[in-house]
Structure 1
Amino acid sequence: MTGWIPRRFLHEISEAIEARDGSTHVFYITGNAGVGKTVLLRQVGQKLGSRDGIAPHFPWSGILDLYHSAVNTNSGLEERVMKALETADEFSAFRTEREEFAARRAAGLLAQELEEARAHLAATFADCLNKVTGIHRVVVALDTTERIQYGVDRVQVLGGLTEESTTVRPWLLDQLARWRNCVVLLAGRPDPSLASALQSRLKEVAGVTFIPLDLTGFDQDEMRRYLALRGRDVPGLDSLSEADRSLLWQVTEGRPIRVELFLESLKYGLGFDRLWQNITQGSPAKARQEIDRWLMAAIMNDPAHDLHDTLQYLAVARKGLDSALLRHLTGWDEARCHKQLEELKKRTFVKIRPDDGRIFWHDEVFDLCDNYLIVRAGDLSKRIAEWYDRQIGELEGAMGRPQGDEERRETQRKLQDLRVDSLIYRLRADPHAGYEWYTRQAEYAIRAAEVGYDMRLRNELLAFVNSASEVDRKILPPSSELRRVIEYDAAAHWVKRYMIRGENEKAVALAGRVRKAPEFQPLFTEPSLSLARADLGVYHAQALIYTHRADEAIELLKSVIAELEGGASPEELAGQEPKSFAGWRRNLILGRAHNNLGYAYWMVLRRYGLALQEFRKALPYFRASDLLEETANTTDNMGRVYAALYRRSQAESLVEDGLQLRRRLGRDYRVALSLISRAIVHSAFNEPHRAFAVA
């Protein structure tokens, strides 16, 4: 990489790469933003033959940047490592198993079985990588590792779920303990939790050495060498005396990103005279406090700068800027957009995503923009979200057309990527509407056992909620009621996650702890939290039913229904704004409450009349809000109850209705459940030959 001196630790890492003892070295490289962690990774990559140090070049994996949501998943990392390092079909067993897993998940396999299959798939991946490392020593690099975990919510702490915040962290810890004969570079801002987990997991693994490294800014000697090197392409730099350069080192604290922004101002004449005057007139201590603001004023706020408008858009485009999005925001033609982006790529403070060429700020520059740049983050985020909605709409249209299995999976993957990337813009444009959109997506992801999608969405939400950015804290103030809603909604989400894995006892235990915890008492008393309270109650009750505590479940469900219905009939209440978020969520919760109550009466107490009453009460809620799978499920349940009552026409008709709804939705596993119900109905009326034909 031209324009950079070799960074500290490059020699130490190179020695580990050249080792021939078959051991694995895991380097955990931490440092504050802007100290050159990514540059160090790129220099390693270039020594291994990568053109820019970012792209893969065997035995270099390329830089796998966890800033990007599509990379920050088990499957995202597996896919990229496999593409970079496979030499002779070593991953064929993994690909076969992955295809089988994808087909089983698409068919709606039980989540508990999916979890077991997912764990086996991870072990197979490690075995396949070790086939490569049995012949070649490879280097795998992950950047922005602090994105693995953005924070642990209070429900996780209460339930001992601190390792459940993402699928990637446990996956990575498990893989590192399995990989042989490789060097792994993990770079990110300091994260004591991750450091402790790495140390604990790897300290007793034979053949694995864990090496933490603390990278800081340039020391004075490095600063002198760096400025001497950059003097070749920065006119005017040679006019700075040794004393000036020493002052610059003091003011920037040797942090490369600050030095680069200073050189940008000098090279392109962006407010440099004022910037240098500010630096030299006051004390170095004062300048250190103000340097970031001065740099942003010079680089970003000069309207004479050819890239001024594009820089403003890039400051908000947290998921990257490309020609299509820039055209949407500006109305410029393709040629102008392309020229602007090509000029931006020359700047040292931007990153380029290898997968698709999108341009990003360096993460430290994003922080500086939020703190010192006046930009309409909310308005621009709304316009960017509208662009994402258009892309999402086009793919949703494609999903409605006939597609092969592989094409459908690829379309679904692209849809999930777009939805996850759009979430930050939705939250910044309108945090309430953004969170409502998140809740709908999370409900689907959890129920469909789409663990990766669920956790990617959650990470984006937590990144926004926990952001120290002045912009984000103005959009969602620390005292915001929405923060409390998000925190309390997490209780129901974690109970659902346990249940979808088939861990019903754990779901009951977690719900019980939440109910007893002093910090969660507002959830059970405040009227404004009624939906969060009811959501938790319905799933707590469902877990109680599955663990043979139907009496407790029935009482809990009755209390949920009484509070939300307030004496109104389902037909009356279901029609009140059923398409609004509050109406949709109320209808989903009440429909589930009545359905689960009916299930308890039917399957546990054998009180069929009461079961049918509750199922009938559930349907208006589901139908009013177009909750098709819920409608199919309850309709199917009713058919089964009528079969138990020997009422053939109702039984067959209702089960058939549920089957047709599920066929419309295309979930093979749910269709199979309806076919099982049809076979049960045939058997109930002494027609085993018809039941056998269905099977």
Structure 2
Amino acid sequence: MDLTANLPPQLVDIVIDLTKKIISEYGPVVAKKLWEQAQQVKIQRPSFAIKGDLVDREPTIRSIKAALNARDNTRVIYLCGSGGAGKTRLLEEAKKVAASKPPIRWAGIFDLYHTDLHNTFYLQSAIIESLNPGRQYFADYWEKRELFERKRGDGVFTSSSDAAVQSEIATLNQLFIDALNQFTSRHRVVLAFDTLENIGEELDVIQQVFKLETVKGSLSARQWLLDLCRDAKNTVILLAGRPNVELKSDLERINTIDMGRVESISVEGLTQSDTSDLLTVYTRNVPRPIAKLLSQNAINIWQATKGLPVHVALTVELILQTPDFLKEGQNNDLELERKVVRAFFDSEKPDRRHLFFLALARKGLTPDLLNYLERRWSKEECVKRLTDVENLTLIKKRHGESDLFLHDALYEMFDEFAPYSREEKNYWYQRLREYYQNSNKEEQLQWEKSIVNILYYDLRCDCLQAFYRNFTRWSEIAIKGYEIELDSQLRNEIFIYLRSNHKNDINSDAMNAVFNQDNAIRWVKRLNRRSQYKQAIEVAEILFAFDTNKRFLNDHLPVMDLSENDKNILEPIISTAPPIFWASLLTYYGEALTYLTKQSESQIETVLTKAIDELNDLSFDRQHDWLRDRLLGYTHDRLGYLARVNGHYKNASEYYHQALQFYKDAEILDEYAFTQNNLAFVLALLGDVVGAKAAAEDALTKRLELGQRYPIALSYNTRGLIRALENSGSLDGQRDCELALSIFEEINTPRGIGLACNALGFILRKRGEGWTLGQCTPEQAKQWYIKAEEYFERAKEIFKDGEKIRLWEALNELGCLNRDWACLLKSLQDEEGSRIKFKQAKGFQEQALVLAQESNMRFQQVDTLDDVVELSLNLGDFEQARQKLEECRALIPPEFNLTAARNEPNRGEIYWFSLAKIQMREGMMRIWRARQNTPRDILQVADGIRCLLNSFMYFSLYSEQQVFLEKRAQEIAATLKTSEIPGELVGDTFRQIIEEHGFNLSILRSALSKEYNYEKFS
């Protein structure tokens, strides 16, 4: 829908014609005196007619009065008419009528010209503030709304599904309606909404083509208004806007449920007779010769203005301007049109300059802004100038605020006829943008208003630059933080620009396609956030089909069929998309594949790597600097995630490191901290405790600066786990995770609670292991095990229908916990208690293994099977242990072997760690079996020694961290020593391994030397 005015050129033509007639009829001298008299009148009465009595609107007023008098019934009146027909004036008159009926509460006119009212929260707040500032009736709604705001401010929604957030919004919308109806049970209420055309379109092109539904619980003002019209009780709802067939149809459909509830009234131009009457009203104080001439030409004015009251007023005002250029005898009609309009908005004349600024400042003009634009005027003079024009016909003022606006007709006349150059207007748009850039943004609402206004003026300087420089960045921030109101405002500013009279602006032709391309990317992202990964993949693959460079990487055809019409809609939009679009699409397509667990890792990696290649090719594209860095950061982060969940920890750390630099360049602190936190945990797993602690502290510092409590708690949880991995007996890690849990509980985020419970259960289990080394008493260990069990059970309940890997962690840890607990009870001669705990351990391990198998989590299968082996050994079931060990080994890809590792040591892979543990288990089993033979089976012992020593080579392939390797070497040496293996036998095997594999085993040699005083280790 085009929001431009279609201001009739005849209007300016009739002004020129009538002005010429005045000069012709009275002569230049008399005409000049008449205009001077008019100017003297206008000194008393500022420009524009004072708002006076309505003309010929009695039928509409009667309908409004009837609606007001229909006690206990809701009535909706939709005033539909073209720009300048007087719809806003009718709403103002309705206010007067309502004021004459004291029991009725008038809430104000909510003008949807302002994009901040394009979402339900702001509309609801504005209505509450007007009707019930004390909020007594809206207490429950406001309590839940404040909770919603706190959760959003704390970053809780970053861990929530879109569906969960939308459900909360839907609940708030219903609470508002319930509270409003409670209020209207005591008071009849009038709600008026103006400029409905600004919210007329709901579905974007991509949404229409792919038939993607808007989830219930959005903050769409259009749908909310329809719901309000249907559900509100004892309320009069006045709606005013330019013609919109779909909206009219949706409103009138309510009558099928409640007959007579909605009435649509077409607000037409005045009749010829009424136009003449209105001219009389507007020319009461005009010199009689001019008034007489206008009256005599009423029919011409009526024809030129189509009887639209605002255009009639505008015609009178233009004629009263003393157009000196006409007296000079100029006859070029096009030039005259421009001069008429220029004279009206003359930026060089002191009495007109503020009108020029009002025409430019479409986000409202305040005395402070006027003073910024015109430094020659004091603040007091700026206040006076705007106060003088506040109550005039062609001026609008926003309810409850000081900002002034021109009527649309004047904006339209300025855009169509004002002969100001692009350079001149751009200069002022830049000044307006600078004003908001320099304005106070300490409070959230002030910041939001500033960036929306900056975007508005920036679009009119260079729309594509504004789109990539401001819209893309701010919209991304809004979406991530679930600042849905801000996102809707930003998007509506783009919609309004596209439907405005800026067709000849720089890059305006390309803007529509770019916006629709952006919508396509957003829908793939939105489907990912809804966990609708299959549909996200389908949409992306169809879009790839339009790529002339064939970036689409799969050989199968898209699974969704499109009609020829839909193909014809998409083809010109998508086929012309720039490289940044395809890089974006590859990124979010790859993300969808990542979460769809049945996809191969190599396929996903290929897609994300292709995205990086595309982005690297844009290194000299300055227009997309920020978006490029943002996408490179995100793509590397996703590759880090993919590597981490598949056990490629070294690769994950490298990807995370790369992502950090891009996030730093783009100044995206929240995602920088997120990636840094993930990096910290990966480094801890690799044994780099120093690096892990530094990364965790950096992430925590950044998150404390941002102030969102959910991410802060995540950092405390990560730091606690790192501290526990460094020293399992320390309280520091436990305290961090307890702090995290308390924050998660306070902000009521189940996922966070589950993560903290898994962490605390793990830490307490590890602390409990200290009884075997005399670091704690068996009774202390038992108390920690009891508490750990409570934590794991709580996490299990939270994740039972959620993240599979977190549920696996809880189940697997419950298996390990019950195994350790059984061993403790066995040492205390509690055979029955030990038997029960061993049985529970086996049950949890079986559940964990099934879950890992069903969810295609290979490493997790390996990890659980390794724990099953340990449990079997504890139970003395060597055959079961051997069998599970073989199953474990079979799951590890064949390329993970020492022979291959000598040529290409693919370090940092979790499977090296798994193989190291398998070797240790196998070594212990061989040694234990040898003990059962009398005399000992020396070959079996030698094989066991070899397995234990080999495990160190696998550990060294997993991590190169000296502290980690020293700890593992000491563990191996201590195991050999406590197994009473002779040093000479260990030394011979050690020498053979060095000769066979050529690994650097100096750390293992040092550990063995400390345990054995034997020359072959020296």
Alpha-carbon distance in structure 2 between the residues aligned to 1:687 and 1:175: 60
Q: Which runs of 5+ in 2 are unaligned?
A: 1-50, 547-566, 742-1018
Aligned residue type for 1:40 = L
Match of 2:55 in 1: 5
Alpha-carbon distance in structure 1 between the residues aligned to 2:335 and 2:282: 20
Match of 1:473 in 2: 503
Alpha-carbon distance in structure 2 between the residues aligned to 1:258 and 1:617: 61
Q: Equivalent of 1:132, from 183, 199, 215?
A: 183
Q: Equivalent of 1:214, from 262, 266, 270?
A: 266
Alpha-carbon distance in structure 2 between the residues aligned to 1:292 and 1:115: 56
Contact 1:271 1:302 in 2 (8 A): no
Match of 2:240 in 1: 187
Match of 1:262 in 2: 315
2:594 aligned with 1:564: no
Match of 2:590 in 1: 541
Match of 2:624 in 1: 582
2:119 aligned with 1:86: no
Contact 2:323 2:340 in 1 (8 A): no
Alpha-carbon distance in structure 2 between the residues aligned to 1:493 and 1:538: 12
1:356 positional shift: 2.4
Contact 1:619 1:634 in 2 (8 A): yes
Structure 1 residues 185-209: Cα deviation after superposition (integer angstroms, max 9, x where no partner):
1101111232233334x24444771
Alpha-carbon distance in structure 2 between the residues aligned to 1:588 and 1:565: 12
Residue range with higher mean Cα deviation, 202-211 or 593-602: 202-211
Contact 1:29 1:215 in 2 (8 A): yes
Match of 1:490 in 2: 519
Match of 1:284 in 2: none
Aligned residue type for 2:155 = G
Which aligned pairs between 1:41-52 and structure 2 lie closer than 5 A? 41-49=91-99
Match of 2:701 in 1: 660
| Alpha-carbon distance change, 304 to 688 in structure 1, aligned in 2, over 3 angstroms | closer
| Alpha-carbon distance change, 319 to 296 in structure 1, aligned in 2, over 3 angstroms | farther
Contact 1:449 1:500 in 2 (8 A): no
Structure 1 residues 573-597: Cα deviation after superposition (integer angstroms, max 9, x where no partner):
7xx79xx553322221112111101
Alpha-carbon distance in structure 2 between the residues aligned to 1:253 and 1:163: 40
Contact 2:269 2:306 in 1 (8 A): yes
Contact 1:557 1:597 in 2 (8 A): yes
| Alpha-carbon distance change, 688 to 32 in structure 1, aligned in 2, over 3 angstroms | farther
Q: Residue 140 of structure 1: SS of its match in structure 2? A: strand
Structure 1 residues 348-389: Cα deviation after superposition (integer angstroms, max 9, x where no partner):
212122332222111122112111111245544544444444
| Alpha-carbon distance change, 392 to 476 in structure 1, aligned in 2, over 3 angstroms | closer
Which aligned pairs between 1:433-444 and structure 2 lie closer than 5 A? 433-435=465-467, 436-444=469-477
Aligned residue type for 1:107 = D
Alpha-carbon distance in structure 1 between the residues aligned to 2:543 and 2:205: 10
Alpha-carbon distance in structure 1 between the residues aligned to 2:306 and 2:609: 63
Structure 1 residues 552-589: Cα deviation after superposition (integer angstroms, max 9, x where no partner):
433311211233336x9xxxx7xx79xx5533222211
Q: Equivalent of 1:323, from 353, 363, 367?
A: 367
Alpha-carbon distance in structure 1 between the residues aligned to 2:432 and 2:346: 28
Q: Equivalent of 2:414, from 369, 378, 387?
A: 369
Residue range with higher mean Cα deviation, 326-335 or 680-689: 680-689
Match of 1:419 in 2: 451
Alpha-carbon distance in structure 2 between the residues aligned to 1:173 and 1:477: 36
Alpha-carbon distance in structure 2 between the residues aligned to 1:291 and 1:211: 45
Match of 2:90 in 1: 40
2:165 aligned with 1:114: yes
1:291 positional shift: 14
Alpha-carbon distance in structure 2 between the residues aligned to 1:327 and 1:126: 42
Alpha-carbon distance in structure 1 between the residues aligned to 2:639 and 2:571: 25
Alpha-carbon distance in structure 2 between the residues aligned to 1:521 and 1:253: 41
| TM-score, scaled to structure 1 | 0.84
Contact 2:191 2:236 in 1 (8 A): yes
| Alpha-carbon distance change, 665 to 354 in structure 1, aligned in 2, over 3 angstroms | same
| Alpha-carbon distance change, 100 to 389 in structure 1, aligned in 2, over 3 angstroms | farther
Structure 1 residues 27-67: Cα deviation after superposition (integer angstroms, max 9, x where no partner):
2211110011111111101111289xxxx996111111011
Aligned residue type for 1:457 = L
Q: Equivalent of 2:229, from 168, 176, 200?
A: 176
Match of 2:679 in 1: 638
Q: Residue 429 of structure 1: SS of its match in structure 2? A: coil
| TM-score, scaled to structure 2 | 0.59
| Alpha-carbon distance change, 259 to 514 in structure 1, aligned in 2, over 3 angstroms | same
Match of 1:245 in 2: 298
1:687 positional shift: 5.5
Aligned residue type for 1:484 = A
The structure with higher relative contact order (CA 8 Å, sep 6+) is 1
Alpha-carbon distance in structure 1 between the residues aligned to 2:182 and 2:345: 53
1:124 positional shift: 0.8
Structure 1 residues 113-164: Cα deviation after superposition (integer angstroms, max 9, x where no partner):
3322221111111111101111222111000001114575422222334758
Q: Equivalent of 1:629, from 645, 665, 670?
A: 670
Alpha-carbon distance in structure 2 between the residues aligned to 1:682 and 1:119: 42
Alpha-carbon distance in structure 2 between the residues aligned to 1:305 and 1:329: 15
Residue range with higher mean Cα deviation, 623-632 or 76-85: 623-632
Match of 1:348 in 2: 393
Alpha-carbon distance in structure 2 between the residues aligned to 1:258 and 1:195: 25
Q: Equivalent of 1:454, from 487, 490, 507?
A: 487
Q: Residue 61 of structure 1: SS of its match in structure 2? A: strand
1:530 positional shift: 1.5
| Alpha-carbon distance change, 477 to 214 in structure 1, aligned in 2, over 3 angstroms | farther
1:414 positional shift: 1.1
Aligned residue type for 2:265 = L
| Alpha-carbon distance change, 380 to 298 in structure 1, aligned in 2, over 3 angstroms | closer
1:455 positional shift: 1.1
Residue range with higher mean Cα deviation, 648-657 or 139-148: 648-657
Aligned residue type for 1:599 = Y
Alpha-carbon distance in structure 2 between the residues aligned to 1:87 and 1:461: 33
Q: Residue 109 of structure 2: SS of its match in structure 1? A: strand
Structure 1 residues 283-311: Cα deviation after superposition (integer angstroms, max 9, x where no partner):
xxxx9xx9995895386266896533222
Alpha-carbon distance in structure 2 between the residues aligned to 1:434 and 1:666: 29
Alpha-carbon distance in structure 2 between the residues aligned to 1:6 and 1:272: 36
Contact 1:261 1:295 in 2 (8 A): no
Match of 1:77 in 2: 123
Larger radius of gyration: 2
Alpha-carbon distance in structure 1 between the residues aligned to 2:647 and 2:451: 44
Match of 1:402 in 2: none
Structure 1 residues 630-670: Cα deviation after superposition (integer angstroms, max 9, x where no partner):
22222211222234445444433322321222112222222
Let me know the Cα RMSD of the aligned residues.
3.5
Match of 1:333 in 2: 377
Q: Residue 375 of structure 1: SS of its match in structure 2? A: coil
Contact 1:446 1:496 in 2 (8 A): no
Structure 1 residues 423-460: Cα deviation after superposition (integer angstroms, max 9, x where no partner):
22111122233222221111111111111101100111
Alpha-carbon distance in structure 2 between the residues aligned to 1:29 and 1:545: 51
Residue range with higher mean Cα deviation, 155-164 or 330-339: 155-164
Q: Percent same amino acid among aligned pairs? A: 27
Match of 1:100 in 2: 147
Q: Residue 115 of structure 2: SS of its match in structure 1? A: coil
Alpha-carbon distance in structure 2 between the residues aligned to 1:208 and 1:515: 50
Aligned residue type for 1:590 = L
| Alpha-carbon distance change, 313 to 522 in structure 1, aligned in 2, over 3 angstroms | same
Alpha-carbon distance in structure 2 between the residues aligned to 1:484 and 1:654: 42
Match of 1:225 in 2: 277
| Alpha-carbon distance change, 387 to 363 in structure 1, aligned in 2, over 3 angstroms | closer
Aligned residue type for 2:122 = G
2:411 aligned with 1:359: no
Alpha-carbon distance in structure 2 between the residues aligned to 1:142 and 1:590: 44
